[in-house]
Structure 1
Amino acid sequence: MATTLYAHRLSQPSRAAEMLLRELAIEYDFHEIDFAGGETRTDEFDAINPFQTVPALVVEHDGETLHLAESQAIMMTLCRIAEDQHVAQRWYPGEQDIPRSSKIDQWLAWYHNNLRRFDMFHHIMNLHLTLPMLKREIQATLLEPLQEGLRPGLERLEAHFQHQQRSGHAPTLLGDEHPTIADLAMGCELYQIRAAGYRFDGYPQVDAWLEGLARRAHFQHVSEAVDAQGREIRQQSGDYLALDTFG
């Protein structure tokens, strides 16, 4: 099936969608979209995705061309139409296993209000580029409130993984050996602040779960851009960022 992903690898939902394409062995064309430069607001992109967001997917399936926005809808659809359903249903079984799918859906719904809304990475990028006299003000007014907002979500995840460990389950959201699309979505969200210097010292189970995802070959490849951006931030930030004291 002809598949095109419109995305940017500094967008955490874009990375999750691309990682899944690779995990499902779906061949695709990649079109980088400069969302920060306004490319999502052009007439050309509006014809692809009127929501004007990345990622967006165009895929041919059963003689129809599907235009999809929103990373979670994209990932669910990819799992439904992938040729290798044995692999796809590990990530998201859909109607084939409704109890398991409902648990994945639950985590994805939780993710938006407890992790996604407290995204710090793009503020961190702006911070390391701004004038020195403004750095501490931006940290105090933007980053510290986001860090405090993120803390309850990390505590909930830590407690969940501790329970999984005590019960003898694997360190994934559902406790299976294989991760799901919920692990991908949330892992991409947290990995990018880790790349920029965030420490999860207070959340060892979260850190171990994240490390397990980061060892996957496709996760590593798609994360190269965010790793490079994170290294630049860490090398140039000095002590004003103080991310090692967060968490």
Structure 2
Amino acid sequence: MVITCRDKSPGETMTISLYAHRLSQPSRAAEILLRELGIAYDWQEVDFANGETREPHFAEQINPFQTIPALVVSGDDPDFVLGESHAIMRYLCRIAADAGGDAENAQHWYPGDRDARRSARIDQWMAWHHNGIRRYDMFHDIMNLHLTLPMLKYELQSTALKPLQDGLRSGLATLEAHFERQPQDTPAAPTLCGDAHPTLADLTITCELYQIVAVGYRFDRYPQVAQWLNGMAERDHFKRVSEEVLEQGRTIREASGDYLELDAFA
């Protein structure tokens, strides 16, 4: 399926394919950025839950890291293949003009060498994302709880989910304190760099946290974080790409919500 967010330029030969799945946080971040930049792309859904990323054809031809998202740019010989969402998003901002996208908008998301200090701040938060937020990803354990027998659900909540919740609180507190330190004249919806326009860092981390917002978790204890998340979630492309995870979250909440501590951050 080719998803076109713009008209192709005459004579354009670059073709971008995104190998991803919308229940994957990094996949959604990469796809949202493609749409924000107005870059047309070929969507290739990867059944990562059933091990497609570990099949030989994927590891040999698409991404030797055996993860999603992965980006394949055709038009040169050989194709340019790239894994890891952070690298993919920085690359997309750098090639937006060549890909027929909005180069000026790309500078808002990630300015690269044009503004070394602002890029460094974005890079800092994207690096922090791995250990500050992503290491406490709860969604896969929530899925396991949802699919297991009722007699085991409370045990999974206690042994698997509670330690992740405890760890995530530290990251949420770091974010909350950061937003509280920002000047009072910052935009109504906070951003990590204090600008009116969000960056790759905002997109990366909010996609991560939105995964459990979809299930029904609230961040009342962290009002600045909640406001920041809501601001990102109201963006049109964020909403459209998040429809699938919202539906999955609704299914989990209706079937297994009683077993989850949905007020863990409230």
TM-score range, shorter chain: over 0.9
User: Measured at CA, do residues 238 and 147 of structure 1 come closer, stay the same or move farther in structure 2, by a change above 3 Å?
Assistant: closer
Query: Of residues 162, 170, 188 in structure 2, which corresponds to 1:144?
Result: 162
Partner of 1:43: 56
Q: Contact between 1:61 and 1:81, CA under 8 Å: does it hold in 2?
A: no
The TM-score with structure 1 as length reference comes to 0.96
Partner of 1:236: 255
Deviations 1:221-246, CA, capped at 9 Å, x for gaps: 10011000010111111422121244
Matches within 5 A, 1:60-139: 60=74, 65-83=79-97, 84-139=102-157
Q: Contact between 1:198 and 1:244, CA under 8 Å: does it hold in 2?
A: yes
Partner of 2:11: none
Matching of residue 185 in structure 1 with residue 199 in structure 2 = no
Q: What is the rounded CA distance, in whole Å, between the counterparts of 1:245 and 1:10 in structure 2?
A: 22
Matching of residue 25 in structure 1 with residue 42 in structure 2 = no
Q: What is the rounded CA distance, in whole Å, between the counterparts of 1:87 and 1:41 in structure 2?
A: 35
Q: What is the rounded CA distance, in whole Å, between the counterparts of 1:109 and 1:227 in structure 2?
A: 27
Q: What SS does the corresponding residue of 1:97 show, helix, strand or coil? A: helix
Residue identity opposite 1:185 in structure 2: T
Aligned length: 246
Q: What is the rounded CA distance, in whole Å, between the counterparts of 1:160 and 1:6 in structure 2?
A: 34
The TM-score with structure 2 as length reference comes to 0.90
Matching of residue 34 in structure 1 with residue 47 in structure 2 = yes
Q: What is the rounded CA distance, in whole Å, between the counterparts of 1:49 and 1:62 in structure 2?
A: 18
By how many angstroms is 1:167 displaced? 3.4
Q: Contact between 2:142 and 2:161, CA under 8 Å: does it hold in 1?
A: yes
Deviations 1:151-193, CA, capped at 9 Å, x for gaps: 11100101111122x4321200000010001101000000110
The CA RMSD over aligned residues, in Å, is 1.3
Q: What SS does the corresponding residue of 1:36 show, helix, strand or coil? A: helix
Q: What is the rounded CA distance, in whole Å, between the counterparts of 2:15 and 2:36 in structure 1?
A: 17
Task: List runs of 5+ in structure 2 lacking aligned partners.
Answer: 1-13
Q: What is the rounded CA distance, in whole Å, between the counterparts of 2:185 and 2:142 in structure 1?
A: 37
